[in-house]
Amino acid sequence: MEVTTARWIQQQTKRLDAQPIVGYVRGDQPSAESVAFAAYAACAYDRADAAAVACRRLLDAQLEDGSVAVWLDEKGPFWPTSLACIAWRLFEKQWPEVAKGWCQDAYQRGLAFLLRCGGEKIARNEIIGHDSELVGWPWVLGTHSWLEPTAMALLAMRHCGYVDHPRVQEATALLLDRQLPDGGANYGNTFILGQTLRPHVLPSAMCVVALHRIKPSPQRLSNTVGYLQTELNRPMASTSLAWTIHALVSSGWDSPSGFELEFDWPLRSAIKRLQTTDENPHRQNQLMLAARFRESPLLDLPPFDYVQTKDGENE
Amino acid sequence: MSQANDPTEPSSKPDRRGFLVSGAVATAGVAGAAYWKRSSRLRDSVFIARNQKYDGELVRTIHDGLIACEFDPQSVAGKRVLLKPNLVEPSRLAPHMTTHPAMIQAAAEVFRRWNAEVTVGEGPGHVRDTEQALLDSGVMDALADAKLSFADLNYQEIRAVENTGRASKLKQFYFPRAVIEADLVVSMPKMKTHHWMGMTGAMKNLYGVIPGCKYGWPKNVLHFNGIPQTVFDINSSVGRTITIVDGIDCMEGDGPILGTRKPMGLILLGTNLAAVDATMARIMDILPERIPYLALAADKLGPIDEPQITQRGESWRPLVDPFLLLDRDHLRSLRAAKTHFVT
């Protein structure tokens, strides 16, 4: 049966209301990232009860040091802390009376934790192409900074009002440094042993979203947007598509005509693909969120100035 | 703080059968140590088939090869078999980087005929969106065609299992449920060069059973603890394994991602991963004892010396065809000759 996006969203909203606490795989234990995305989707569709349940569950899982682990109620790694902070902040913005007294404390403790953490520096050498001394965030403490956890942390800092923190500038520098010459980025390597690596959709899109409304807009980011526009013409999986839609909407933010790309076909394709495999609420929530386009709360951010001029990016 | 995020630190008691048997106390250490002892005592067989094609009789080749290596089909009847292909970073531009879907379907068919319950599982090392990796590799369609279930090893529920190798300082590994519950893990690598290790094969392919959500993308915790050491440790800890190598369209040069296609038309398989990897190295004109993780594995996880490996099917010697290696200091000692290096 032909999928219509509007009807699918109607069904998904009911599902989200009924079960906001989900994991990566249906039936598995809840994961922080999945619950955070359920909270974003609930905010996006004005589902106060579902958003509250998800945000409360993240709060219950917050450890004494402010971190939130991948699997709720277990120890580390901490990287979803950023995503939990965004969830609490979005909830606070939308329902300030309900959030009073607990959301702000939760995201401030989460941000304090993140600001105590950083990736391990590696001395620069000719083998590795990126600036291995820039400090962003690692997936696991004690290892190097990588692109996606740094993008998540940057988004969290921007959403939670930490935009003036020096680490926002360093995280921005890191994301730009890891863009590939012809556009796009991968997990965080540019050149290895003299060869340029290939870009991947998801981390490329996450960079663009994390740098949403950056002023001035760096050329490297434009190349990455161009890469994503091309990739949209081929089959794209749910998570990659959700972030790509956010990225491309972001790229057309200040354009008088807005974004001009057609998202309905890729959205319907991704929805159809999900319907032929096992149900996956985590991916469904990500697509729901993306289907809000410009109204996605993930993009509800003011512009920010990038002032660092390392290797002449903005000079 | 570091303790809370350190995969070496157990969040629960190491428990191999924790998903299956409540209160079980059997650990991977028991299974792993038993396997280690058996492997170090016996000779092992490696089967090689040549002139293989993806649209050829792969089922027959794999079936005959396993029987030739004295694999007992009864040992998997009614049991769980996990096929672990290599989908580290699939790209439509480089299908020779990843295990071909036809190999996965063929292996599944063989084990299903032996009444095993077959699942395909992978935790791509560089790609966080596993659904995208399945799309780009063509494996998603293959799974649907063959009605095969897939276990996302990057995101599935995990449990701590003791590191029985202890070549690295890691005390345990977190393995996904599908790996812990599997009665047999079938490593299905691509025959490729590797720009750090020289080659990647059956043993290195098991990096993909390590969950990204716990170890990152790339699985940087393993790198920080030593690639050879952690390859050895994972292989020591994972339980019963065999391997079926996709050596039909291979990769040379700057593998495992950016190398060039090298058609070989081979399938290698065996019940001991170290023995198969050593044979594969010889065909690539690489000295197995110079590959750091094979050196660690020698006589602990399996034989790598030629006299200890019983050859089945084709002999490896006429098949030797040097794979280009990067002309780098750390790779130059991997072959006796000074030829077949590229910049």
Residue B6 pLDDT level (bands cut at 50, 70, 90):
low
Query: Which residues does residue A152 pair with via DSSP β-bridges, in sequence order?
Result: none
Residue A257 pLDDT level (bands cut at 50, 70, 90):
confident
A-chain residue closest to B215, CA distance: A140
Residues 83-112 of A with CB under 8 A from B: none
Q: Is the pLDDT of residue B36 over 90?
A: no
Query: Which pLDDT score is estimated for A20?
Result: 97
Query: Which pLDDT score is estimated for B138?
Result: 96
CA distance B275 to B15: 29
Query: Which pLDDT score is estimated for A309?
Result: 58
Among A100-104, A237-241, B88-92, name the most confident range: A237-241
pLDDT in tens, A180-197: 999 999 999 999 998 999
A-chain residue closest to B137, CA distance: A235
Q: Is the pLDDT of residue B22 over 70?
A: no
CB contact at 8 A, A75 and B4: yes
Q: Is the pLDDT of residue B35 over 80?
A: no
Mutate to test the interface with B, among A28, A65, A72, A75 (most CBs of B within 10 A): A75
CATH superfamily for domain B46-333: LarA, N-terminal domain (3.40.50.11440)
Closest in A75, A192, A202 to B132, CB measured: A202
Q: Is the pLDDT of residue B8 over 80?
A: no
Within 8 A of A23 by CB-CB distance, chain B residues are 157
Residue B30 pLDDT level (bands cut at 50, 70, 90):
very low
B258 interface with A at CB cutoff 8 Å: yes
Query: Which pLDDT score is estimated for B38?
Result: 47
CB contact at 8 A, B238 and B24: no
Query: Which pLDDT score is estimated for A76?
Result: 85
Averaged over B180-190, what is the pLDDT?
98
Neighbours of A71 (CB within 10 A): 23
Comparing A118 with A312, which gets the higher pLDDT?
A118
DSSP 8-state class, residue B302: B
Within 8 A of A146 by CB-CB distance, chain B residues are 216-218, 220
CATH architecture, domain defined by A5-300: Alpha/alpha barrel (1.50)
CA distances in angstroms from A64 to A78, A104, A164, B17, B70, listed in the order given:
12, 16, 26, 31, 55
pLDDT in tens, A48-93: 999 999 999 999 999 999 999 999 988 889 999 999 999 999 999 9
Residue A255 pLDDT level (bands cut at 50, 70, 90):
confident
Residue A222 pLDDT level (bands cut at 50, 70, 90):
very high
CA distances in angstroms from B284 to B194, B277, B287, B288, listed in the order given:
12, 10, 9, 10
CA distance B333 to B281: 13
Packing angle of the helix pair A264-276, A281-290 (nearest 10 deg): 170
Q: Which of B43, B81, B56, B44 is nearest to B266 (CA)?
A: B56
Query: Which pLDDT score is estimated for B68?
Result: 97
Q: What's the 3-state SS for A144-203? A: ECCHHHHHHHHHHHHHCCCCCCHHHHHHHHHHHHCCCCCCCECCCCCEECCEECCCEHHH
Query: Which pLDDT score is estimated for A90?
Result: 98
A237 interface with B at CB cutoff 8 Å: yes
B337 interface with A at CB cutoff 8 Å: no
β-pair type (B260-270, B309-313): unpaired
Closest in A28, A144, A192 to B195, CB measured: A192
CA distance A260 to A210: 21
A202 interface with B at CB cutoff 8 Å: yes
Task: Count residue pairs from A and B with Cβ separation < 8 A.
Answer: 137
Query: Which pLDDT score is estimated for A31?
Result: 97
CA distance A187 to A97: 39
CB contact at 8 A, B86 and B255: no
The gap from C-alpha B23 to its chain's centroid, in whole angstroms, comes to 30
β-pair type (B260-270, B44-49): antiparallel
A168 interface with B at CB cutoff 8 Å: no
Q: Which of B257, B206, B203 is nearest to B95 (CA)?
A: B257
- Kindly state the percentage of chain A with pLDDT values over 70: 96
Q: Which structure tokens are listed for B67?
A: 């029987």
The gap from C-alpha B271 to its chain's centroid, in whole angstroms, comes to 12
Residue A1 pLDDT level (bands cut at 50, 70, 90):
low
Q: Is the pLDDT of residue A240 over 60?
A: yes
What per-residue string of b and e applies to B294-312 under the rule 16 or more CB within 10 Å gives b?
A: bebbbebbbbbeeebbbeb
Q: Which structure tokens are listed for B127?
A: 């790609």
Closest in B126, B215, B254 to A187, CB measured: B126
Within 8 A of B89 by CB-CB distance, chain A residues are 186, 198, 200
Q: Which structure tokens are listed for A92?
A: 């606070």
CB contact under 8 A, A143 and B1: no
CA distance B135 to chain A (A): 7
B145 interface with A at CB cutoff 8 Å: no
Q: Is the pLDDT of residue A311 over 70?
A: no
CB contact under 8 A, A142 and B223: no
CA distance B322 to B335: 9
Averaged over B171-197, what is the pLDDT?
97
CA distances in angstroms from B143 to B121, B151, B186, B268, listed in the order given:
11, 11, 16, 23
Within 8 A of B3 by CB-CB distance, chain A residues are 75
Neighbours of B21 (CB within 10 A): 11
CA distance A45 to A192: 44
- Kindly state the percentage of chain B with pLDDT values over 70: 88
Closest in A74, A202, A203 to B11, CB measured: A74
Neighbours of B339 (CB within 10 A): 10
CB contact under 8 A, A237 and B4: no
CB contact under 8 A, A198 and B258: yes
Q: Which of A250, A257, A255, A254 is nearest to A293 (CA)?
A: A250
Mutate to test the interface with A, among B19, B131, B172 (most CBs of A within 10 A): B131
CB contact under 8 A, B157 and A28: yes
CB contact under 8 A, B157 and A200: no
CA distance A285 to A296: 12
Residue B301 pLDDT level (bands cut at 50, 70, 90):
very high
Query: Which pLDDT score is estimated for B24?
Result: 33
Q: Which of A24, A27, A76, A30 is nearest to A56 (CA)?
A: A30
A231 interface with B at CB cutoff 8 Å: no
When the pLDDT of each residue in chain A is averaged and rounded to a whole number, the result is: 94
Q: Is the pLDDT of residue B9 over 60?
A: no
Instruction: Mark out the alpha helices in chain A (DSSP H runs).
Output: 5-18, 32-44, 48-61, 81-94, 96-99, 103-116, 147-159, 166-177, 201-210, 219-231, 238-251, 264-276, 281-290
Would you list the domain boundaries of chain A? 5-300
Averaged over B153-166, what is the pLDDT?
96
CA distance A140 to chain B (A): 6
Query: Which pLDDT score is estimated for B319?
Result: 98
B-chain residue closest to A149, CA distance: B216
pLDDT in tens, B253-279: 999 999 999 999 999 999 999 999 999
Within 8 A of A195 by CB-CB distance, chain B residues are 254, 258
CA distance A97 to chain B (A): 33
pLDDT in tens, B195-239: 999 999 999 999 999 999 999 999 999 999 999 999 999 999 999
Would you list the domain boundaries of chain B? 46-333
CB contact under 8 A, A143 and B131: no
